[in-house]
Every structure is written in C-alpha cells, then in structure tokens.
Structure 1
C-alpha cells in the first residue's frame, strides 16, 4: 500500500511542477536591475541596426520552440515601427548565454538602442503581451 501512496504523491508533485512551468512559459518579465556590465560582442553588434528596441532571441541549434519564436518575432518586428529582431545561436558560444544570465532557450531579451535591457521572455512569447510591454518604448503607432 505504501507504494501506491508514493506513486500518487509523485504524480501530484509532478502535476504541480508542470502547471507552474506552463504558467511561466512565455511570460514577459521586467528586466533585472543588475549592475551595468558590458554586453557580449554579438549582442552589441545586434543593437547597431538603428531600431529603438531590438529583440535578441537566444537560441540553440536543435531547439524546436526557438523556431516557433523566430516565426513569431520576425514578422512582428517587420510590421512594427522601431522594432528589430535578431536571433543568436549560442550552441557554440555558451559564454554569451552565461554573460546574459540565460539558462534556457529560447529566451528573448528586449534592449533599447543604448544597450539597456527592457524585459525578458523565457519560452515562446505571447505577441500581444510582448507588444503591450514594449509600447512605451516604441513610436506612437504600433502594429497589432
């Protein structure tokens, strides 16, 4: 009988953990207020596109959600004034992910043109929530 209780307890804990992870996936979080440090070279280069806000997507080679994120963010940036999207594959440069404090892929980090981090999204972002969070940093007219 003890084995049945162990299995049931394990299933309950796993269900709660799964629900928590699902709730956090794609949620827009405010930027961490860490001390200012120099951005990694690939990120600095990505910010030179002239956009007010650049979405830097941290990906890895075999990440399926990364492809979904690319398919969402690319068109979003194309139809939104002042927004750019850059994907960085960190498979062979883990030091970039480490310097940014990225522990999972995809992670999307929004930067102002001066390198200030605005927000982060772990997982596949939800476009309406992302646009709403970026609205104060973009020109008045934003595509929906």
Structure 2
C-alpha cells in the first residue's frame, strides 16, 4: 500500500471518529424525557423538594464538572420561586445509580411538584438547557413563573 493511500485512510478514520464523538457529546447534553415514576423518599425526601420544582443533581466525589453544575443549579434555584436544588452523592450509593439508570455524572433530574421526573440531562449541559427545561415545567404548572435567561 502506498503511503498516500495509508495517509488518506488514516485521515478518513480520524474524521469519522471525530464526527461520532461530537454527535455523542451533543446527544448526551440534550434533555430527555424522564421515567414517570416518582423519586423515592429515601433518595430525595419529600420535605426537601421544592413547591414548584426540584433540580436533583447526582454527583460523585470524583466528578470534575459537578461543582460547576452545582453552582449553576443553585443559582437557578435561588432565582426561581419554589425551586430547590438537591445534590445526591452516589459514590457510595450504587443502588441509586442502578435504580435510576445513572451512567455518568453529573446527571440532573428535574422533578415536578409531586416528585415525578419530567426531564433528565446527563453531563455538564449549558445553563440555557437547564433554564429551558425549568421554564417549560414552571410555565405548564399554575401559577406561571419564569426565570431569567
């Protein structure tokens, strides 16, 4: 095989792997519908939930992007009336990770006022993704509330 053909094959493979990686990264940060089962009280006690919504962040001790996501979610909770941010460390709770199918941290579940997950974001999503999902939930539940972008 000539060096030119080998080089072109190598460049083609690098391009394919790059496209797949970028697609996977974009897909993981996109919000997804969550399962409709209410979160158990032993994971997030009902008295720790917000009146309008709860942002539940699942983290581990070894997660590098979890502190930044926690700051973002805390700021959103401070801005939104009736919104609470709860952080759950799953380092020593593999049962919770298995039960909720958490494969990466941070994973954020947005719970409605009844503790039912309505949205799930995996990985460190941009602030706008959290705002969009939270606004969508708050606008669909009376009384209507909005958050600053």
Q: Which has the larger radius of gyration?
A: 2
CA-based RMSD = 2.3
Question: Which runs of structure 2 are paired with 1:38-117 in the superposition (5 Å)?
Answer: 39=40, 41-43=42-44, 45=45, 47-51=46-50, 52-117=52-117
* Structure 1: distance between partners of 2:38 and 2:23: 31
Q: Could you tell me how far apart the structure 2 residues matched to 1:142 and 1:121 are?
A: 20
> Cα offset for 1:31?
1.8
TM-score when normalising by structure 1: 0.82
1:41 deviation in Å? 1.5
TM-score of the pair, normalised by structure 2: 0.80
1:54-104: CA deviation from partner (whole Å, max 9, x where unpaired)? 111011111111111111111111111121111111111111111011111
Other structure's SS at 1:118 match: strand
Q: Deviations over 1:34-62 (max 9, x none)?
A: xx47637123x2x4225121111011111
The answer as to whether partners of 1:60 and 1:90 remain within 8 angstroms in 2 is yes
In the alignment, the residues of structure 2 paired with residue 58 and residue 19 of structure 1 have an alpha-carbon distance, to the nearest angstrom, of 24
Alignment correspondent of 2:11: 8
